[in-house]
A and B are shown apart, each in its own frame.
Chain A
Amino acid sequence: MVDLSVDIAGLKLKNPIMPASGTFSEELAEVFDLDRLGAHVTKTITRGWRDGNPTPRVCEVNGSMLNSIGIPSKGVGAFLEKVVPFYRHYETPLVVSISGNTADEFATLCSEVSVDGVAAIEVNISCPNIEEDGKAFAIRPSSTYDVMCKLRAATKLPLWAKLTPNTGETPEVARAAEEGGADALVVANTILSMAIDIHSRRPKLGNLMGGLSGPSIKPIALRMAYQCARATRIPVIGCGGISTVEDVIEFLIAGASAVQVGTATFIHPTAMVSIIEGLESWLAAEGLSSVRDLIGTVIDGEQNEAVVFMEAAP
Protein backbone atom coordinates (compact mmCIF):
# COMPACT_ATOMS: atom_id res chain seq x y z
CA MET A 1 0.00 0.00 0.00
CA VAL A 2 1.49 3.28 -1.13
CA ASP A 3 0.94 6.40 0.98
CA LEU A 4 -0.06 9.26 -1.33
CA SER A 5 -0.80 11.77 1.43
CA VAL A 6 1.05 15.05 1.71
CA ASP A 7 1.00 17.90 4.18
CA ILE A 8 0.67 21.47 2.94
CA ALA A 9 1.43 23.73 5.89
CA GLY A 10 -0.65 21.69 8.31
CA LEU A 11 -3.41 20.83 5.82
CA LYS A 12 -3.34 17.10 5.17
CA LEU A 13 -4.23 16.04 1.62
CA LYS A 14 -4.97 12.38 0.82
CA ASN A 15 -3.03 12.74 -2.41
CA PRO A 16 -1.00 15.54 -4.04
CA ILE A 17 -3.30 16.03 -7.04
CA MET A 18 -5.69 18.96 -7.21
CA PRO A 19 -7.22 21.14 -9.93
CA ALA A 20 -5.79 24.49 -10.97
CA SER A 21 -8.14 27.39 -10.36
CA GLY A 22 -10.33 28.18 -13.36
CA THR A 23 -10.24 24.66 -14.75
CA PHE A 24 -12.57 23.11 -12.19
CA SER A 25 -16.13 23.60 -11.00
CA GLU A 26 -19.16 21.77 -9.62
CA GLU A 27 -19.95 20.57 -13.15
CA LEU A 28 -17.01 18.16 -13.07
CA ALA A 29 -18.97 16.14 -10.47
CA GLU A 30 -20.99 14.92 -13.44
CA VAL A 31 -17.89 13.23 -14.84
CA PHE A 32 -16.26 11.61 -11.77
CA ASP A 33 -16.43 11.49 -7.97
CA LEU A 34 -14.73 14.68 -6.80
CA ASP A 35 -13.72 12.99 -3.53
CA ARG A 36 -10.95 11.26 -5.50
CA LEU A 37 -8.98 14.51 -5.48
CA GLY A 38 -6.46 15.75 -2.93
CA ALA A 39 -8.14 19.18 -2.77
CA HIS A 40 -10.79 21.23 -4.55
CA VAL A 41 -9.73 24.64 -5.84
CA THR A 42 -12.45 27.01 -7.01
CA LYS A 43 -12.34 29.46 -9.88
CA THR A 44 -11.10 32.85 -8.69
CA ILE A 45 -13.82 35.12 -7.38
CA THR A 46 -13.84 38.84 -6.75
CA ARG A 47 -15.95 40.67 -4.13
CA GLY A 48 -18.34 42.21 -6.61
CA TRP A 49 -19.96 41.17 -9.88
CA ARG A 50 -17.66 40.98 -12.89
CA ASP A 51 -18.82 40.25 -16.42
CA GLY A 52 -15.51 39.00 -17.73
CA ASN A 53 -13.76 39.82 -20.99
CA PRO A 54 -15.12 40.09 -24.54
CA THR A 55 -15.12 36.97 -26.72
CA PRO A 56 -13.28 35.15 -28.18
CA ARG A 57 -11.94 34.21 -24.78
CA VAL A 58 -9.90 31.24 -25.93
CA CYS A 59 -7.74 30.20 -28.84
CA GLU A 60 -5.52 27.28 -29.61
CA VAL A 61 -1.82 27.54 -30.30
CA ASN A 62 0.40 24.61 -31.17
CA GLY A 63 -0.05 22.09 -28.38
CA SER A 64 -1.37 24.64 -25.87
CA MET A 65 -4.01 27.33 -25.42
CA LEU A 66 -4.39 31.04 -24.75
CA ASN A 67 -7.22 32.37 -22.64
CA SER A 68 -8.44 35.74 -21.54
CA ILE A 69 -11.60 35.11 -19.58
CA GLY A 70 -11.31 38.04 -17.20
CA ILE A 71 -12.52 36.44 -13.98
CA PRO A 72 -16.29 36.65 -14.47
CA SER A 73 -17.60 36.53 -10.91
CA LYS A 74 -21.03 36.49 -9.32
CA GLY A 75 -19.53 38.08 -6.24
CA VAL A 76 -18.87 36.87 -2.73
CA GLY A 77 -22.52 36.64 -1.67
CA ALA A 78 -23.51 34.15 -4.36
CA PHE A 79 -20.28 32.26 -3.74
CA LEU A 80 -20.94 31.77 -0.02
CA GLU A 81 -24.57 30.90 -0.66
CA LYS A 82 -24.16 28.44 -3.55
CA VAL A 83 -20.61 27.25 -4.06
CA VAL A 84 -19.26 26.68 -0.54
CA PRO A 85 -22.32 24.57 0.51
CA PHE A 86 -21.91 22.37 -2.58
CA TYR A 87 -18.36 21.41 -1.54
CA ARG A 88 -19.33 20.85 2.12
CA HIS A 89 -20.75 17.53 0.98
CA TYR A 90 -17.27 16.31 0.17
CA GLU A 91 -14.51 15.18 2.53
CA THR A 92 -11.86 16.71 0.28
CA PRO A 93 -10.65 20.10 1.59
CA LEU A 94 -11.90 23.18 -0.22
CA VAL A 95 -9.42 25.83 -1.31
CA VAL A 96 -11.02 29.10 -2.34
CA SER A 97 -9.25 31.26 -4.92
CA ILE A 98 -9.74 35.00 -4.57
CA SER A 99 -8.54 38.19 -6.21
CA GLY A 100 -8.92 41.92 -5.68
CA ASN A 101 -8.18 45.18 -7.43
CA THR A 102 -6.59 46.76 -4.39
CA ALA A 103 -4.82 45.24 -1.40
CA ASP A 104 -7.60 46.45 0.93
CA GLU A 105 -10.42 45.04 -1.20
CA PHE A 106 -8.47 41.78 -1.50
CA ALA A 107 -8.09 41.59 2.30
CA THR A 108 -11.79 42.28 2.89
CA LEU A 109 -12.70 39.41 0.57
CA CYS A 110 -10.12 37.22 2.28
CA SER A 111 -11.85 37.78 5.58
CA GLU A 112 -15.33 37.27 4.04
CA VAL A 113 -14.47 33.83 2.62
CA SER A 114 -12.90 32.61 5.88
CA VAL A 115 -15.95 30.54 6.73
CA ASP A 116 -16.76 27.01 7.84
CA GLY A 117 -16.13 24.61 4.96
CA VAL A 118 -13.13 26.50 3.59
CA ALA A 119 -9.80 24.83 4.40
CA ALA A 120 -7.39 27.28 2.77
CA ILE A 121 -7.40 30.40 0.64
CA GLU A 122 -5.46 30.64 -2.59
CA VAL A 123 -4.69 34.29 -3.19
CA ASN A 124 -4.40 34.97 -6.88
CA ILE A 125 -1.87 37.77 -6.72
CA SER A 126 -0.87 37.08 -10.31
CA CYS A 127 -3.83 38.36 -12.33
CA PRO A 128 -3.22 41.74 -13.94
CA ASN A 129 -4.77 44.72 -12.30
CA ILE A 130 -6.55 46.17 -15.33
CA GLU A 131 -8.18 48.94 -13.30
CA GLU A 132 -4.81 50.05 -11.96
CA ASP A 133 -1.72 49.80 -14.13
CA GLY A 134 -2.04 46.35 -15.75
CA LYS A 135 0.60 44.98 -13.37
CA ALA A 136 0.02 42.10 -10.97
CA PHE A 137 0.98 42.19 -7.29
CA ALA A 138 3.31 39.22 -7.77
CA ILE A 139 5.43 40.89 -10.44
CA ARG A 140 7.42 42.78 -7.79
CA PRO A 141 8.64 41.69 -4.33
CA SER A 142 7.47 44.94 -2.67
CA SER A 143 3.84 44.77 -3.87
CA THR A 144 3.82 41.04 -3.10
CA TYR A 145 4.96 41.67 0.48
CA ASP A 146 2.48 44.52 1.03
CA VAL A 147 -0.57 42.61 -0.19
CA MET A 148 0.44 39.44 1.66
CA CYS A 149 0.74 41.33 4.96
CA LYS A 150 -2.82 42.65 4.55
CA LEU A 151 -4.14 39.24 3.57
CA ARG A 152 -2.33 37.61 6.49
CA ALA A 153 -4.01 40.00 8.90
CA ALA A 154 -7.42 39.21 7.40
CA THR A 155 -7.59 35.45 8.05
CA LYS A 156 -6.38 32.62 10.24
CA LEU A 157 -6.79 30.10 7.41
CA PRO A 158 -3.74 28.88 5.48
CA LEU A 159 -2.84 31.28 2.67
CA TRP A 160 -1.51 29.94 -0.61
CA ALA A 161 0.01 32.66 -2.79
CA LYS A 162 -0.32 32.02 -6.52
CA LEU A 163 2.69 33.48 -8.29
CA THR A 164 3.11 34.68 -11.86
CA PRO A 165 5.76 33.64 -14.37
CA ASN A 166 5.65 37.22 -15.68
CA THR A 167 8.40 38.41 -13.37
CA GLY A 168 12.14 38.60 -13.52
CA GLU A 169 12.39 38.23 -9.75
CA THR A 170 11.08 34.76 -9.00
CA PRO A 171 13.07 33.97 -5.82
CA GLU A 172 12.66 37.52 -4.47
CA VAL A 173 8.89 37.44 -5.01
CA ALA A 174 8.71 33.97 -3.42
CA ARG A 175 10.62 35.19 -0.34
CA ALA A 176 8.48 38.33 -0.16
CA ALA A 177 5.33 36.17 -0.14
CA GLU A 178 6.80 33.98 2.61
CA GLU A 179 7.83 36.98 4.69
CA GLY A 180 4.41 38.56 4.16
CA GLY A 181 2.75 35.51 5.66
CA ALA A 182 2.09 32.98 2.89
CA ASP A 183 1.83 29.38 4.12
CA ALA A 184 2.45 27.90 0.67
CA LEU A 185 3.21 28.99 -2.88
CA VAL A 186 1.36 27.94 -6.02
CA VAL A 187 3.87 28.13 -8.87
CA ALA A 188 2.66 29.34 -11.28
CA ASN A 189 -0.11 31.07 -13.22
CA THR A 190 -0.30 31.43 -17.05
CA ILE A 191 2.22 33.37 -19.14
CA LEU A 192 1.18 36.57 -20.92
CA SER A 193 0.97 35.78 -24.62
CA MET A 194 -0.58 36.81 -27.92
CA ALA A 195 -1.82 35.31 -31.16
CA ILE A 196 -2.93 37.09 -34.35
CA ASP A 197 -5.13 35.83 -37.17
CA ILE A 198 -3.03 36.52 -40.27
CA HIS A 199 -6.08 36.81 -42.55
CA SER A 200 -8.07 39.33 -40.52
CA ARG A 201 -4.93 40.78 -38.86
CA ARG A 202 -6.89 40.88 -35.63
CA PRO A 203 -5.68 39.44 -32.32
CA LYS A 204 -7.24 36.01 -31.81
CA LEU A 205 -8.43 36.96 -28.32
CA GLY A 206 -11.10 39.59 -27.71
CA ASN A 207 -8.96 41.09 -24.96
CA LEU A 208 -5.83 41.47 -27.16
CA MET A 209 -3.59 39.24 -25.03
CA GLY A 210 -4.08 36.31 -22.71
CA GLY A 211 -2.47 33.61 -20.64
CA LEU A 212 -0.65 30.68 -22.21
CA SER A 213 -1.32 27.34 -20.55
CA GLY A 214 -0.79 23.70 -21.42
CA PRO A 215 2.24 21.49 -22.02
CA SER A 216 4.35 24.25 -23.60
CA ILE A 217 4.68 26.13 -20.29
CA LYS A 218 5.66 23.10 -18.21
CA PRO A 219 9.45 23.61 -18.36
CA ILE A 220 9.01 27.23 -17.27
CA ALA A 221 6.72 26.33 -14.37
CA LEU A 222 9.05 23.50 -13.36
CA ARG A 223 12.05 25.85 -13.29
CA MET A 224 10.10 28.30 -11.15
CA ALA A 225 8.80 25.60 -8.78
CA TYR A 226 12.38 24.42 -8.29
CA GLN A 227 13.63 27.95 -7.63
CA CYS A 228 10.78 28.72 -5.21
CA ALA A 229 11.38 25.48 -3.30
CA ARG A 230 15.03 26.43 -2.98
CA ALA A 231 14.30 30.05 -2.10
CA THR A 232 11.79 29.47 0.71
CA ARG A 233 10.93 27.10 3.56
CA ILE A 234 7.22 26.89 2.76
CA PRO A 235 5.65 24.16 0.60
CA VAL A 236 5.45 24.73 -3.14
CA ILE A 237 2.49 23.50 -5.20
CA GLY A 238 3.55 23.03 -8.81
CA CYS A 239 1.24 24.24 -11.57
CA GLY A 240 1.76 24.68 -15.29
CA GLY A 241 1.24 22.29 -18.16
CA ILE A 242 1.02 19.17 -15.99
CA SER A 243 -0.75 16.50 -18.08
CA THR A 244 0.76 13.13 -17.17
CA VAL A 245 1.96 11.19 -14.14
CA GLU A 246 5.53 11.71 -15.35
CA ASP A 247 4.98 15.48 -15.23
CA VAL A 248 3.79 15.16 -11.61
CA ILE A 249 6.81 13.08 -10.61
CA GLU A 250 9.11 15.63 -12.23
CA PHE A 251 7.57 18.49 -10.20
CA LEU A 252 7.77 16.48 -6.96
CA ILE A 253 11.43 15.68 -7.58
CA ALA A 254 12.03 19.40 -8.28
CA GLY A 255 10.71 20.19 -4.81
CA ALA A 256 6.94 20.63 -5.17
CA SER A 257 4.91 19.04 -2.35
CA ALA A 258 1.76 18.79 -4.48
CA VAL A 259 0.60 19.78 -7.95
CA GLN A 260 -2.32 21.38 -9.73
CA VAL A 261 -3.64 20.02 -13.01
CA GLY A 262 -5.35 22.60 -15.22
CA THR A 263 -5.62 22.67 -18.99
CA ALA A 264 -5.18 18.88 -19.18
CA THR A 265 -8.67 18.53 -17.67
CA PHE A 266 -10.08 20.39 -20.70
CA ILE A 267 -8.61 17.71 -22.97
CA HIS A 268 -9.40 14.74 -20.70
CA PRO A 269 -11.96 15.57 -17.98
CA THR A 270 -10.80 12.48 -16.07
CA ALA A 271 -7.08 13.40 -16.32
CA MET A 272 -6.67 13.96 -12.56
CA VAL A 273 -8.15 10.57 -11.71
CA SER A 274 -5.86 8.83 -14.23
CA ILE A 275 -2.87 10.69 -12.79
CA ILE A 276 -3.70 9.65 -9.20
CA GLU A 277 -3.99 6.02 -10.26
CA GLY A 278 -0.81 6.26 -12.33
CA LEU A 279 1.12 7.85 -9.48
CA GLU A 280 0.18 5.06 -7.09
CA SER A 281 1.27 2.37 -9.59
CA TRP A 282 4.50 4.19 -10.39
CA LEU A 283 5.49 4.53 -6.73
CA ALA A 284 4.65 0.87 -6.09
CA ALA A 285 6.70 -0.22 -9.10
CA GLU A 286 9.62 1.90 -7.85
CA GLY A 287 9.36 0.30 -4.41
CA LEU A 288 8.56 3.60 -2.71
CA SER A 289 6.15 3.49 0.23
CA SER A 290 5.31 7.20 0.31
CA VAL A 291 5.01 9.93 -2.29
CA ARG A 292 6.77 12.18 0.23
CA ASP A 293 9.98 10.22 -0.41
CA LEU A 294 10.12 11.85 -3.85
CA ILE A 295 9.73 15.49 -2.85
CA GLY A 296 12.82 17.58 -3.46
CA THR A 297 15.04 14.66 -4.41
CA VAL A 298 16.50 16.33 -7.47
CA ILE A 299 20.21 15.62 -7.79
CA ASP A 300 21.46 19.06 -8.74
CA GLY A 301 24.98 18.98 -7.40
CA GLU A 302 26.51 21.82 -5.47
CA GLN A 303 25.37 24.75 -7.59
CA ASN A 304 26.01 28.24 -6.34
CA GLU A 305 23.05 30.55 -5.77
CA ALA A 306 23.65 32.56 -8.92
CA VAL A 307 23.03 29.43 -10.94
CA VAL A 308 20.05 28.14 -8.95
CA PHE A 309 18.29 31.50 -9.07
CA MET A 310 19.27 32.69 -12.54
CA GLU A 311 16.63 34.81 -14.25
CA ALA A 312 17.81 34.51 -17.82
CA ALA A 313 18.82 31.54 -19.91
CA PRO A 314 22.57 30.95 -19.76
Chain B
Amino acid sequence: MMGVHKKLVPANDAVSVKAFEMPLAVKENLPVNGEYRKLVLDAPADLLARCRAGQFFHLLCPQAGGETPYLRRPMSIYGFYPETGELHFLYKVTGAGTRALATLGTGDLLNVLGPLGEPFTIADDWQNLVLVARGVGLATLAPLALEANRLGRHLTAICSARHPDYLMSTDYFADLGADVITLTDAEGTSEPQNLERVIEELVAAGKAHAFYTCGSNRMLRLLQEIGARHGIPGQIALEQQMACGIGMCHCCVRPFNRGDKQVHLRVCREGPVFDMMEAIAW
Protein backbone atom coordinates (compact mmCIF):
# COMPACT_ATOMS: atom_id res chain seq x y z
CA MET B 1 0.00 0.00 0.00
CA MET B 2 0.99 3.60 -0.41
CA GLY B 3 2.21 4.07 3.10
CA VAL B 4 4.72 6.80 2.46
CA HIS B 5 3.36 9.75 0.55
CA LYS B 6 6.44 10.88 -1.22
CA LYS B 7 6.73 12.32 -4.64
CA LEU B 8 7.51 9.53 -7.04
CA VAL B 9 10.00 10.14 -9.79
CA PRO B 10 9.18 9.64 -13.47
CA ALA B 11 8.50 6.19 -14.85
CA ASN B 12 11.70 6.08 -16.84
CA ASP B 13 13.59 6.00 -13.56
CA ALA B 14 13.47 2.33 -12.60
CA VAL B 15 13.66 3.20 -8.89
CA SER B 16 10.02 4.28 -8.69
CA VAL B 17 8.49 1.79 -11.09
CA LYS B 18 7.07 -1.27 -9.42
CA ALA B 19 5.22 -2.68 -12.41
CA PHE B 20 6.27 -2.77 -16.02
CA GLU B 21 4.00 -2.67 -19.04
CA MET B 22 6.01 -4.11 -21.93
CA PRO B 23 5.88 -6.46 -24.89
CA LEU B 24 7.83 -9.71 -24.40
CA ALA B 25 8.78 -12.18 -27.14
CA VAL B 26 7.41 -15.71 -26.99
CA LYS B 27 10.15 -18.34 -26.82
CA GLU B 28 7.83 -21.31 -26.65
CA ASN B 29 4.12 -22.00 -26.24
CA LEU B 30 3.49 -25.75 -26.20
CA PRO B 31 0.98 -28.22 -24.74
CA VAL B 32 2.20 -30.07 -21.63
CA ASN B 33 -0.70 -32.53 -21.64
CA GLY B 34 -4.22 -32.78 -23.01
CA GLU B 35 -5.40 -29.76 -21.02
CA TYR B 36 -2.55 -27.42 -20.22
CA ARG B 37 -0.01 -25.36 -22.11
CA LYS B 38 3.23 -23.77 -21.01
CA LEU B 39 4.12 -20.30 -22.26
CA VAL B 40 7.77 -19.25 -22.07
CA LEU B 41 8.59 -15.56 -22.57
CA ASP B 42 11.93 -13.89 -23.12
CA ALA B 43 12.15 -11.38 -20.25
CA PRO B 44 14.73 -8.77 -19.27
CA ALA B 45 16.78 -9.26 -16.11
CA ASP B 46 15.37 -6.21 -14.30
CA LEU B 47 11.82 -7.52 -14.75
CA LEU B 48 12.72 -11.02 -13.55
CA ALA B 49 14.60 -9.57 -10.58
CA ARG B 50 11.30 -8.11 -9.33
CA CYS B 51 9.31 -11.34 -9.58
CA ARG B 52 8.34 -13.22 -6.42
CA ALA B 53 6.53 -16.52 -5.94
CA GLY B 54 2.77 -15.97 -5.80
CA GLN B 55 2.73 -12.78 -7.85
CA PHE B 56 0.95 -12.50 -11.19
CA PHE B 57 1.14 -10.74 -14.52
CA HIS B 58 -1.78 -9.09 -16.28
CA LEU B 59 -1.61 -10.35 -19.87
CA LEU B 60 -2.98 -8.51 -22.88
CA CYS B 61 -4.14 -11.55 -24.84
CA PRO B 62 -3.88 -11.00 -28.59
CA GLN B 63 -6.91 -10.53 -30.82
CA ALA B 64 -6.23 -13.66 -32.80
CA GLY B 65 -7.78 -16.93 -33.91
CA GLY B 66 -11.19 -15.26 -34.22
CA GLU B 67 -11.09 -14.30 -30.53
CA THR B 68 -11.49 -10.71 -29.37
CA PRO B 69 -10.55 -10.64 -25.69
CA TYR B 70 -10.74 -7.08 -24.37
CA LEU B 71 -9.64 -6.87 -20.74
CA ARG B 72 -6.26 -8.18 -19.62
CA ARG B 73 -6.16 -11.64 -18.05
CA PRO B 74 -4.38 -12.13 -14.72
CA MET B 75 -2.11 -15.18 -14.68
CA SER B 76 0.10 -16.34 -11.84
CA ILE B 77 3.81 -16.79 -12.46
CA TYR B 78 4.71 -20.45 -13.01
CA GLY B 79 8.46 -19.87 -13.01
CA PHE B 80 10.99 -17.06 -13.35
CA TYR B 81 14.61 -17.73 -14.23
CA PRO B 82 16.98 -14.73 -14.24
CA GLU B 83 19.81 -17.08 -15.28
CA THR B 84 18.13 -17.97 -18.60
CA GLY B 85 16.05 -14.79 -18.97
CA GLU B 86 12.77 -16.67 -18.95
CA LEU B 87 9.30 -16.05 -17.52
CA HIS B 88 6.96 -19.06 -17.51
CA PHE B 89 3.17 -19.38 -17.33
CA LEU B 90 1.07 -22.55 -17.19
CA TYR B 91 -2.51 -22.24 -18.41
CA LYS B 92 -5.59 -24.20 -19.29
CA VAL B 93 -7.41 -23.20 -22.47
CA THR B 94 -10.90 -22.33 -21.27
CA GLY B 95 -12.13 -19.05 -22.77
CA ALA B 96 -11.53 -16.34 -25.34
CA GLY B 97 -8.38 -15.06 -23.64
CA THR B 98 -6.62 -18.39 -23.26
CA ARG B 99 -7.73 -19.57 -26.72
CA ALA B 100 -6.11 -16.41 -28.12
CA LEU B 101 -2.99 -17.00 -26.01
CA ALA B 102 -2.72 -20.51 -27.44
CA THR B 103 -2.30 -19.03 -30.95
CA LEU B 104 0.96 -17.29 -30.02
CA GLY B 105 4.02 -18.73 -31.74
CA THR B 106 7.75 -18.37 -31.20
CA GLY B 107 8.81 -14.77 -31.82
CA ASP B 108 5.31 -13.29 -31.38
CA LEU B 109 5.01 -10.46 -28.87
CA LEU B 110 2.78 -10.50 -25.79
CA ASN B 111 2.18 -7.30 -23.83
CA VAL B 112 2.51 -7.98 -20.11
CA LEU B 113 1.93 -5.83 -17.02
CA GLY B 114 3.64 -6.86 -13.83
CA PRO B 115 4.83 -8.37 -11.63
CA LEU B 116 1.76 -7.51 -9.56
CA GLY B 117 0.36 -8.32 -6.13
CA GLU B 118 1.68 -9.57 -2.82
CA PRO B 119 3.84 -12.72 -2.96
CA PHE B 120 3.93 -15.77 -0.68
CA THR B 121 5.97 -15.23 2.43
CA ILE B 122 8.02 -17.86 4.21
CA ALA B 123 8.60 -16.90 7.86
CA ASP B 124 12.04 -17.54 9.35
CA ASP B 125 10.79 -20.32 11.61
CA TRP B 126 8.86 -22.16 8.90
CA GLN B 127 11.46 -24.83 8.12
CA ASN B 128 9.06 -27.47 6.79
CA LEU B 129 6.45 -26.31 4.30
CA VAL B 130 3.45 -28.20 2.98
CA LEU B 131 1.87 -27.25 -0.31
CA VAL B 132 -1.53 -28.64 -1.21
CA ALA B 133 -2.94 -27.98 -4.67
CA ARG B 134 -5.08 -29.42 -7.38
CA GLY B 135 -5.16 -29.00 -11.16
CA VAL B 136 -4.02 -25.62 -12.45
CA GLY B 137 -3.57 -24.47 -8.85
CA LEU B 138 -0.27 -26.30 -8.99
CA ALA B 139 0.94 -23.62 -11.42
CA THR B 140 0.38 -20.90 -8.83
CA LEU B 141 2.18 -22.85 -6.11
CA ALA B 142 5.07 -24.06 -8.27
CA PRO B 143 7.27 -20.97 -7.75
CA LEU B 144 6.93 -21.50 -4.00
CA ALA B 145 9.05 -24.61 -4.52
CA LEU B 146 11.68 -22.44 -6.21
CA GLU B 147 11.65 -20.02 -3.29
CA ALA B 148 11.75 -22.80 -0.66
CA ASN B 149 14.69 -24.32 -2.51
CA ARG B 150 16.50 -20.95 -2.63
CA LEU B 151 15.94 -20.50 1.11
CA GLY B 152 16.94 -24.08 1.91
CA ARG B 153 13.54 -25.02 3.37
CA HIS B 154 12.06 -28.49 3.17
CA LEU B 155 8.88 -28.78 1.10
CA THR B 156 6.26 -31.48 0.82
CA ALA B 157 4.08 -31.03 -2.27
CA ILE B 158 0.69 -32.74 -2.18
CA CYS B 159 -0.53 -32.73 -5.77
CA SER B 160 -4.09 -33.68 -6.59
CA ALA B 161 -5.71 -34.24 -9.98
CA ARG B 162 -8.57 -36.05 -11.68
CA HIS B 163 -6.22 -38.54 -13.32
CA PRO B 164 -2.48 -39.34 -13.09
CA ASP B 165 -2.11 -37.99 -16.68
CA TYR B 166 -3.16 -34.54 -15.48
CA LEU B 167 -0.76 -34.40 -12.56
CA MET B 168 1.46 -31.50 -13.39
CA SER B 169 4.59 -30.09 -11.92
CA THR B 170 5.46 -33.24 -9.97
CA ASP B 171 8.87 -33.38 -11.70
CA TYR B 172 9.23 -29.63 -11.18
CA PHE B 173 8.73 -30.15 -7.41
CA ALA B 174 10.89 -33.29 -7.23
CA ASP B 175 13.75 -31.61 -9.12
CA LEU B 176 13.72 -28.86 -6.48
CA GLY B 177 14.12 -31.40 -3.72
CA ALA B 178 10.51 -31.56 -2.57
CA ASP B 179 8.80 -34.71 -1.29
CA VAL B 180 5.96 -35.29 -3.72
CA ILE B 181 2.71 -37.00 -2.74
CA THR B 182 0.21 -37.56 -5.54
CA LEU B 183 -3.51 -38.09 -5.07
CA THR B 184 -5.96 -38.72 -7.91
CA ASP B 185 -9.68 -39.24 -8.38
CA ALA B 186 -8.95 -42.13 -10.77
CA GLU B 187 -7.01 -43.99 -8.08
CA GLY B 188 -9.54 -43.04 -5.40
CA THR B 189 -6.88 -41.34 -3.27
CA SER B 190 -7.98 -37.70 -3.54
CA GLU B 191 -11.04 -37.69 -1.28
CA PRO B 192 -10.94 -35.40 1.78
CA GLN B 193 -10.59 -38.18 4.38
CA ASN B 194 -7.46 -39.50 2.71
CA LEU B 195 -6.03 -36.00 2.21
CA GLU B 196 -6.66 -35.26 5.88
CA ARG B 197 -4.91 -38.52 6.90
CA VAL B 198 -1.88 -37.65 4.70
CA ILE B 199 -1.62 -34.14 6.17
CA GLU B 200 -2.09 -35.34 9.76
CA GLU B 201 0.81 -37.77 9.23
CA LEU B 202 3.00 -34.87 8.10
CA VAL B 203 1.93 -32.83 11.13
CA ALA B 204 2.72 -35.77 13.45
CA ALA B 205 6.14 -36.16 11.82
CA GLY B 206 6.94 -32.46 12.41
CA LYS B 207 6.96 -31.79 8.67
CA ALA B 208 4.23 -29.12 8.61
CA HIS B 209 5.19 -25.69 9.95
CA ALA B 210 3.04 -23.88 7.39
CA PHE B 211 0.46 -24.67 4.71
CA TYR B 212 0.19 -23.18 1.23
CA THR B 213 -2.79 -23.70 -1.01
CA CYS B 214 -5.00 -22.11 -3.66
CA GLY B 215 -8.16 -22.40 -5.62
CA SER B 216 -10.13 -25.15 -3.91
CA ASN B 217 -12.86 -24.55 -1.37
CA ARG B 218 -12.64 -28.11 -0.09
CA MET B 219 -8.90 -27.87 0.52
CA LEU B 220 -9.23 -24.46 2.16
CA ARG B 221 -11.82 -25.74 4.65
CA LEU B 222 -9.77 -28.83 5.45
CA LEU B 223 -6.53 -26.89 5.91
CA GLN B 224 -8.28 -24.30 8.08
CA GLU B 225 -9.56 -27.12 10.32
CA ILE B 226 -6.17 -28.81 10.56
CA GLY B 227 -4.44 -25.44 10.99
CA ALA B 228 -6.80 -24.47 13.84
CA ARG B 229 -6.41 -27.89 15.48
CA HIS B 230 -2.61 -27.70 15.60
CA GLY B 231 -1.95 -23.95 15.48
CA ILE B 232 -0.34 -24.16 12.06
CA PRO B 233 -0.42 -20.97 9.93
CA GLY B 234 -0.89 -20.85 6.21
CA GLN B 235 -1.33 -18.81 3.08
CA ILE B 236 -3.76 -19.08 0.19
CA ALA B 237 -3.62 -17.65 -3.32
CA LEU B 238 -7.06 -16.56 -4.54
CA GLU B 239 -8.63 -15.51 -7.82
CA GLN B 240 -11.33 -13.05 -8.79
CA GLN B 241 -12.49 -11.37 -12.00
CA MET B 242 -10.23 -8.35 -12.50
CA ALA B 243 -10.20 -5.26 -14.65
CA CYS B 244 -7.21 -2.99 -13.94
CA GLY B 245 -5.00 -5.41 -11.98
CA ILE B 246 -3.26 -2.65 -10.02
CA GLY B 247 -5.84 -1.66 -7.42
CA MET B 248 -7.70 1.23 -9.04
CA CYS B 249 -11.07 -0.24 -9.96
CA HIS B 250 -12.04 -2.34 -6.91
CA CYS B 251 -13.58 -5.02 -9.14
CA CYS B 252 -11.65 -7.97 -7.69
CA VAL B 253 -12.53 -7.80 -3.99
CA ARG B 254 -13.22 -10.85 -1.79
CA PRO B 255 -14.45 -11.00 1.82
CA PHE B 256 -12.07 -11.95 4.67
CA ASN B 257 -12.47 -12.39 8.41
CA ARG B 258 -10.29 -9.96 10.28
CA GLY B 259 -10.75 -9.86 14.04
CA ASP B 260 -14.51 -9.82 14.59
CA LYS B 261 -15.17 -8.01 11.33
CA GLN B 262 -15.54 -9.01 7.72
CA VAL B 263 -13.47 -6.89 5.34
CA HIS B 264 -13.30 -6.69 1.55
CA LEU B 265 -9.78 -6.86 0.14
CA ARG B 266 -8.58 -6.52 -3.44
CA VAL B 267 -7.18 -9.75 -4.86
CA CYS B 268 -4.88 -7.76 -7.19
CA ARG B 269 -3.45 -5.53 -4.51
CA GLU B 270 -3.75 -6.92 -0.94
CA GLY B 271 -3.53 -10.39 -2.58
CA PRO B 272 -3.49 -12.63 -4.49
CA VAL B 273 -1.79 -14.31 -1.51
CA PHE B 274 -3.76 -14.01 1.73
CA ASP B 275 -3.65 -15.37 5.26
CA MET B 276 -5.27 -18.80 5.03
CA MET B 277 -7.10 -18.49 8.34
CA GLU B 278 -8.69 -15.16 7.31
CA ALA B 279 -9.92 -16.48 3.96
CA ILE B 280 -13.61 -17.31 3.62
CA ALA B 281 -14.70 -20.41 1.71
CA TRP B 282 -17.02 -19.57 -1.16
Contacts and interface: CB of A to CB of B under 8 A. Distances in A.
A238 interface: no
Interface string B1-40: 0100111111100001111010000000000000000000
A29 B252 CA distance: 20
Interface size class of A (residues with CB under 8 A): 35 or more
Interface stretch (A1-9, A158-166, A188-196, A261-269): A261-269
Q: Which of B5, B69, B248, B269 has the most CB of A within 10 A?
A: B248
B248 A24 contact: yes
Q: Which of A28, A31, A32, A61 has the most CB of B within 10 A?
A: A31
Nearest to A71: B250
B5 to A, nearest CB: 5
Given A31-B11, A32-B11, A65-B71, A25 B240 contact: no
A63 B111 CA distance: 17
B264 A65 contact: no
B103 interface: no
B251 A67 contact: yes
Interface stretch (A49-57, A169-177, A245-253, A306-314): A49-57
B241 A58 contact: yes
B243 A32 contact: no
Contact of A72 (B69, B71, B250): B250
A56 B249 CA distance: 13
A59 B250 CA distance: 13
Given A25-B247, A33-B11, A269-B21, A64 B241 contact: no
A69 B251 contact: yes
A85 B7 CA distance: 11
Contacts of B68: 62-63
Nearest to A63: B70
A22 B7 CA distance: 22
B264 A85 contact: no
A206 to B, nearest CB: 10
A27 interface: yes
A58 B16 contact: no
B10 A22 contact: no
A72 B2 contact: no
A115 to B, nearest CB: 16
B253 interface: yes
A267 B253 contact: no
B72 A266 contact: yes
B247 A58 contact: no
A69 B249 contact: yes
B241 A69 contact: no
B248 A65 contact: no
Contacts of B70: 60-65, 214, 267
A199 interface: no
Contacts of A67: 243, 249, 251
Contacts of A89: 5-7
A153 to B, nearest CB: 31
Interface string A247-279: 000000000000000010111111001000000
Interface of B: 2, 5-11, 16-19, 21, 60, 68-72, 111, 113, 240-254, 264, 269
Interface of A: 22-34, 43, 51-52, 55-65, 67, 69, 72, 85-86, 89-90, 214, 263, 265-270, 273
16 contacts: A22-B249, A23-B249, A24-B248, A30-B18, A31-B19, A33-B10, A52-B250, A55-B253, A55-B254, A57-B251, A58-B251, A64-B70, A266-B243, A266-B248, A268-B21, A269-B113
